[in-house]
Amino acid sequence: MQYRTIAVEASRSYNIHIGAGLLSSIGDMIRPAVGCCRLAVLTDSNVESLYGNSIMDNLRSAGYEACKFVIPAGEASKCAENLLAFLNFLAAERLTRSDAVVAFGGGVVGDLGGLSASLYLRGVKYIQVPTTLLAAVDSSVGGKTAIDIPAGKNLVGSFYQPSMVCCDTALMDTLPAEIYRDGCAEVIKYGVILDAALYRLLHDVPFERESVVARCVEIKRDVVQQDEFDNGIRGLLNFGHTFGHAIEKLSDFGVSHGAAVAKGMVIAAKVAPLCGLCDIVEELSSLLVRYGFDISCPYSASEIYNALLSDKKRRGGTISVVLPRAIGDCTLVDLPVEELETLLEKVI
Ligand code: GLY
């Protein structure tokens, strides 16, 4: 089977394998990372109905003893109740420190599975098996794990690197169009923040999935290797996310992550020229519209501003915002919160 491997050197070093059809040899693929152990697979109800039997059959035929825990699909599942329920499941199944968790799904499953693995017995290995484009290019790579709490998204979490990422790009064939499109927002983000050549490639709609996923993963790998614990350049990955998270929160997660990030990137692009940086609004908006995004903002400047005040990127009286200097070149700007309020009033 043909696949690409991208190596990550972080506090834990690991390989990311990317290719169509990898699920059919998942058991053999993960052996170098976890050895012979028991596996607890975490997945969601959508992935379970499509691929739940395939992964369990494959793991068992490769000689693994494996159990499975299924959560309802959707962002609401990334919660403290499911974290505790899965931890109780791991304990009831008597998983030991030499065993491993397999997070088989999109960002919710990956974040919850990773956080559980970092907490259970003070840390067991875990493997990310992303099934959405968004998880493949972003959340499965780099070791950020989290749950949401009522005060906000991803407010409780850890940095905990997986032992391997195994990305079967063929699984994305069955994604509903709007879920696939969510991932396209993250892909476009990589082009804007760090890679003008990738950005140009994305004008061929639809893009060639495997090579584009691999390029995004390489970009994220390079960023994570420089700033694993998110004290500097890793903040660039938040382009569109500061405003996007505010929109997600205001909509009570009715606006999906990718759709919110698309709107957030346009707001950030509009703020940039007001801060003396370049104007990519037309260019970025037209590409997002070609991908089917509605780039209008359904909330007022003051609603967005108030939602931003609980953002974890806020430090004291400033909030860190990623702004474009050009396509392929973004910068982090710390804006005083009152200034941000005035800027938002001008662009929304
Ligand atoms: N999703 C942003 C990061 O991993 O830093």
Quick one: average pLDDT of 144-153?
91
The answer to whether 157 and 193 are in contact (CB under 8 A) is no
Residue 314 has pLDDT above 90, yes or no: no
Beta sheet of 100-105, edge-to-edge order: 4-8, 14-19, 164-168, 125-130, 100-105, 38-44, 65-71
Q: Which atom of ligand 1 is nearest to the CA of 220?
A: 4
Mean pLDDT of the chain: 96
Q: Pocket of ligand 1, candidates 230, 231, 248: which has the most ligand atoms within 8 Å of its Cβ, to mutate?
A: 230
Give 263 Cα–ligand 1 centroid separation in angstroms. 18
The structure's pTM equals 0.96
Percent of the chain with pLDDT over 90: 93
CA distances for 117 relative to 51, 110, 127, 143, 194, angstroms:
22, 10, 10, 11, 31
With a Cβ cut-off of 6 Å, ligand 1 is lined by 138, 142, 144, 230, 234, 237
pLDDT band at 313 (very low <50, low <70, confident <90, very high): low
Ligand 1 atom with the shortest distance to the CA of 238: 2
Give the distance (Å) from ligand 1 centre to CA of residue 28.
29
**Mean pLDDT, residues 199-228:** 98
User: What pLDDT is attached to residue 315?
Assistant: 74
pLDDT, position 207: 97
With a cut of 90, say whether residue 304 has pLDDT above it: yes
Residue type, 195: D
Q: Stretch 232-246: mean pLDDT, rounded? A: 96
Residue 311 pLDDT exceeds 80: no
Q: How far, in Å, is the centroid of ligand 1 from the Cα of 85?
A: 26
What ligand 1 atom has the least distance to the C-alpha of 234? 5
Residues 6+ apart with CB under 8 A from 232: 226, 332
Choice from 228, 238, 242, 265 to test ligand 1 binding pocket (greatest atom count within 8 A of CB): 238
If 0-12 CB within 10 Å is exposed, 13-18 middle and 19+ buried, where does residue 5 land? exposed
182: left (phi over 0), alpha (psi -120 to 50) or beta: alpha
Q: Please report the DSSP string for 71-133 in residue order.
A: E-SSGGGSSHHHHHHHHHHHHHTT--TT-EEEEEESHHHHHHHHHHHHHGGG--EEEEEE-SH
Residue of 16, 115, 133, 139 best suited for mutating to test ligand 1, as the one with most atoms within 8 Å of CB: 139
Q: Whose CA is nearest to atom 2 of ligand 1?
A: 237
pLDDT score at 116:
98
Per-residue pLDDT of 48-79, as tens digits, reads 999 999 999 999 999 999 999 999 999 999 99
Tokens of 245: 């998270």
Name which of 303-307, 311-315, 323-327 the model is least confident about.
311-315
pLDDT score of 163: 98
SS3 of 164, please? Answer: strand
CA distance 93 to 65: 11
User: Which pair of tokens denotes residue 246?
Assistant: 């505010």
- 97: pLDDT strictly greater than 70: yes
* Mean pLDDT value across residues 294-317: 87
Three-state DSSP state, 160: coil
Crossing angle between the packed helical segments 337-347 and 301-308, to the nearest 10 degrees: 150
162 alpha carbon – ligand 1 mean position (Å): 14
CA 28 to chain centre: 26
Between the CA of 226 and the centroid of ligand 1 the distance, in Å, is: 13
Query: Do 112 and 149 form a contact (C-beta atoms < 8 A)?
Result: no
Distance 189 CA to ligand 1 centre (A): 12
Confidence at residue 312, expressed as pLDDT on a 0 to 100 scale? 65
* Torsional sign, CA 276, 277, 278, 284: negative
Which domains are assigned to the chain?
4-174 (3.40.50.1970), 181-207+219-347 (1.20.1090.10)
How close is the Cα of 336 to the center of ligand 1, in Å? Answer: 23
d(CA 119, CA 142): 17
Nearest atom within ligand 1 for CA of residue 235: 5
Q: Is 257 helix (H, G, I), strand (E, B) or coil?
A: helix
The DSSP output letter for 220 is H
Specify the residue for token string 């991932």.
183
